[in-house]
Amino acid sequence: MNLHRNPIPVTEAVSRIMEINADKQIETVSIPNSHDRILAEDLVAVHAIPPFPKSPYDGYAFIASDTDQASRDHPVEFRVIEEIGAGQRASRPIESGEAVRIMTGAEIPKGATCVAMFEICQTYEQDGQAFMTIKRKMTEGQNIMAKGSETEKGQLLVSKGTKINPGVEALLATFGYHEVKVYRQPKVGVFATGTELLEVHEQLEPGKIRNSNAYMILSQIERSGAIPVYLGKLADDFDTCYDSVVSALKEVDILITTGGVSVGDYDLMPAVYEKLGAEVLFNKIAMRPGSVTTVAQLNGQLLFGLSGNPSACYVGFELFAFPFTQKILGNGKPYHKVIEAVLGHDIMKPNPFHRFMRGYIEYEDNQVTVHPAGIDKSGVVTSLARTNLFIILRGGTRGYKKGDRVQAVLLEGHQGADDFIIKS
């Protein structure tokens, strides 16, 4: 086997993956099942909002010009002819000198041209008839939400490829779409390789560790919006690994393995890819951690060989597998967002290659700062619990000082980005 590995830049590795065609399919789900799914059709206003002129307040509706002479010492009086709540309609058009007591959300009676809030109106009753007086001049259209003032019929409101959030769900309901077309979620299978691995429920024994990567990646897959499929752990035995990978490829859209991509005696994944006849897109990346991350494709199906080292594995998923899951999911913004922030700590360590340091975001001294999450070693698991971003420490730098501006890859809580660019 050829052990020579040619490191490529991170962004080149990402592009090679994203050039692979994704098999996007569409399915229909109900609104309550649409959360965080990706819209597979444009959401267009099928009617105006509001669909009728309505009152934004509780108050009185009347003809604004009736108050032309109103002032502090000259209140104008109206006869209150009826009362309407939201969902009710006035029984007849309004005439000069008349007012309708109207509640928020109710349709403006025909003829009325303004609404005065309760707070500026005085009311009294005489012989069973309600009256209202007002001491100020109202203008035409005041406090009326005109039909279509929010959006006109036919307007494009949310484009396909957008992740559905609570606001999008509100819009779907507004327009009466109780079902919506979304992209199918890919099934992403996970194998953890390593003879040293114990399952979670097993007691520790000398020389063994528990398989934490599988659970971590299953959760990363779920966070990405794809469907995680745990396929189990595999001992470092070639035939076991090969046979398991072959059968798994029939079950899932994307296959992720952890461990076994380095150059040790028991690192068997490169030989598995070779026997499968898979095309290796790359097997060495100029980055830390996770430089051995390997990605191969077989008949359009991607196999992600992530490092067994927990931090490297975590980074490998987010930088390389995540955007591809988004591509299959039809996300128009498939990349994690890269922001600029202020570094909250000195990190005086030379970076021969781009380093993706696990970190977290804070808001301090009126600015967004980023902090390292803990020990910065690829084999570390403890720092991951605090991680919600990667601080990018650019290759060729000798260290960073607190207060320096750095880029950071946001892993949570955003709609995605159109590209993945590391500034030089």
Sites of contact with Mg ion (CB under 5 A): 194, 259-260, 308
The CB-of-304 to Mg ion minimum distance in angstroms stands at: 16
Residue 293 binds ligand AMP (CB under 6 A) = no
Residue 232 binds ligand AMP (CB under 6 A) = no
> What phi and psi, each to the nearest 5 degrees, are found at residue 367?
-145, 160
The CB-of-370 to ligand AMP minimum distance in angstroms stands at: 26
The CB-of-20 to Mg ion minimum distance in angstroms stands at: 26
What percent of the residues of the chain are helix, what percent strand, and what percent coil, each to the nearest 5?
A: 20, 35, 45
| Tokens coding 380 | 């570390």
State how far the Cα of 362 lies from the Cα of 152, in Å rounded to an integer: 40
Residue 308 binds ligand AMP (CB under 6 A) = yes
Which residues sit opposite 297 in a β-bridge?
Answer: 279, 302
Number of residues that this document lists for the chain: 424
Residue 211 binds ligand AMP (CB under 6 A) = yes
The dihedral region occupied by 416, where left means phi > 0, alpha psi between -120 and 50, and beta the remainder, is left
Strands 114-117 and 59-62: antiparallel
For 154, 332, 359, 371, the CA distances from 335, given in Å and listed in that order, are 30, 9, 18, 22
Task: Locate all alpha helices (DSSP H) within 144-237, ordered by sequence.
Answer: 166-174, 213-224
Residue closer to ligand AMP by CB (options 248, 370) is 248
Distance of CA 271 to the CA centre of its chain: 37
Residue nearest to Mg ion (CB): 259
Q: What angle do CA 52, 55, 59 make, to 5 degrees?
A: 150
Which of the residues 107 through 136 are near ligand AMP (CB under 6 A)?
none
Helix (H, G, I), strand (E, B) or coil at 148: coil
Residue 196 binds ligand AMP (CB under 6 A) = yes
396 binds, among ligand AMP, Mg ion, none (CB under 5 to 8 A by kind): none
The CB-of-2 to ligand AMP minimum distance in angstroms stands at: 19
Residue 417 binds ligand AMP (CB under 6 A) = no
Which of the residues 249 through 268 are near ligand AMP (CB under 6 A)?
258-260, 262, 264, 267
Of 11, 212, 388, 397, which one interacts with ligand AMP (CB under 6 A)? 212
Q: How many CA atoms lie within 13 A of 158 on its CB side?
A: 23
379 binds, among Mg ion, ligand AMP, none (CB under 5 to 8 A by kind): ligand AMP
The CB-of-261 to Mg ion minimum distance in angstroms stands at: 9
Report how many residues bind ligand AMP under the rule CB under 6 A: 20
State how far the Cα of 23 lies from the Cα of 253, in Å rounded to an integer: 9
Q: Is 322 exposed, middle or buried (0-12, 13-18, 19+ CB in 10 A)?
A: buried
Q: Is 417 exposed, middle or buried (0-12, 13-18, 19+ CB in 10 A)?
A: middle
Which of the residues 324 through 383 are near ligand AMP (CB under 6 A)?
379
Residue 228 binds ligand AMP (CB under 6 A) = no
The CB-of-291 to ligand AMP minimum distance in angstroms stands at: 11
Of 310, 323, 372, 374, which one interacts with ligand AMP (CB under 6 A)? 310
Of 55, 257, 293, 307, which one interacts with ligand AMP (CB under 6 A)? 307
Contact positions toward ligand AMP, by CB under 6 A? 192, 194, 196-197, 209, 211-214, 258-260, 262, 264, 267, 307-310, 379
